[in-house]
Amino acid sequence: MPGSQFSVLQEDVCVPSRRVLVTGATGLLGRAVCREFQNSGWWVVGTGYRRARPRLLRCDLLDEDAVRTLVHDYKPDVIVHCAAERRPDVVERHTEAAVNLNVHATATLAKEAAGSGVFFLYISTDYVFDGRNPPYGEDDSPNPLNLYGRSKLEGERETLRHCPGAAVLRVPVLYGEVEFVAESAVTALWPRVQEGAAESCTLDHCLQRFPTDARDVAAVCRKLSERGIQDRSIRGIFHFSAKERMSKYEMAVAMAQAFNLPSSHLIPLTEQPAGSAVRPVNSELNCSRLELLGLSVEPRPFRAAITDCLWPFLPDKRWRQTVFH
């Protein structure tokens, strides 16, 4: 990897003393994590693969030699591992590829982090729980219902097996500053909201979710990392989640209200749809460990945050011209 790529997200003017390597930097959470660390004065190295773009490093996380070289060359203080196949239905269809990324690549990164003395932060999911007895604390026994949840749980175990000083951060469904509305399962509801009275639309009103802004998760990642490189007792499993419980139907209605749009065409569906991966009914996370350590943040209210995320996708296309500039 050419040395000229070192300044991936920061200019070569004043080299910050702390360095973070962010995998999956092309994704929703990865972008937010890169921005959060950079705004706090860290040297940020972001990686991607198929969607890698200028100023990011292209790295195949399944290539152990490439991962070893990456960690050796850039000598990060922290690795935040955001890269994952996070779509449960895709995991069901492409299990081998998903397991390779969610489990095997995680194990490789954890080994390299441990061997280099790097603080390793692995992003996991509330889907490691079955949703039958919420809220779930960090010490509650996982029981994932689908392959996605099982792959992420195995990623947790590989992380802590190879890198005992690592931290695992479990989070729920995320939304944020998306590049296209389908990038998040939350913002993907926006086109249905916009249909208005033209056509009725059924939306899940059975599964209870806790939609969380990726910017808030990124802030928690930074706080965990800053404390973790100073205090080696910061290790093991942590939970972070917004506090508003909402079904997809309720999210869509909130979006309609935020933009003064009609919602009468949105029809609540109270049974899980057939043909998709089974999801937990309510996998609410107890986040008290982070709060007691002073490492949490106050989650953004859904209605205000979703307005921030969706205004670039209003029908007036002129608004879009400034969203990523």
Write the pLDDT tens digit of every residue in 288-298. 999 999 999 99
Domains of the chain: 3-179+212-243+283-300 (3.40.50.720)
Confidence band (pLDDT; 50, 70, 90) for 52?
low
| pLDDT for 250 beyond 50 | yes
- Say how far apart CA 264 and CA 304 lie, in whole Å: 21
Helix H or strand E encompassing 20? strand 19-23
Write the pLDDT tens digit of every residue in 264-283. 999 999 887 776 789 999 99
The number of beta carbons lying within 10 Å of the beta carbon of residue 23 is 30
- Say how far apart CA 139 and CA 281 lie, in whole Å: 20
pTM: 0.91
| Contact criterion met (CB below 8 Å) for 145 and 280 | yes
| pLDDT for 317 beyond 60 | no
- Say how far apart CA 320 and CA 312 lie, in whole Å: 5
Write the pLDDT tens digit of every residue in 161-186. 999 999 999 999 999 999 999 999 99
| Contact criterion met (CB below 8 Å) for 194 and 53 | no
| Contact criterion met (CB below 8 Å) for 207 and 247 | yes
Mean pLDDT lowest among 44-53, 139-148, 150-159, 305-314: 44-53
Average pLDDT for residues 183-201, to the nearest whole number? 88
The percent helix, strand, coil of the chain (3-state, each to 5) is 40, 15, 40
- Say how far apart CA 120 and CA 306 lie, in whole Å: 30
- Say how far apart CA 12 and CA 5 lie, in whole Å: 11
Average pLDDT for residues 73-96, to the nearest whole number? 94
Write the pLDDT tens digit of every residue in 204-227. 999 999 999 999 999 999 999 999
Write the pLDDT tens digit of every residue in 298-310. 999 999 999 999 9
Average pLDDT for residues 16-27, to the nearest whole number? 91
Question: Residue 60 has what pLDDT?
Answer: 93
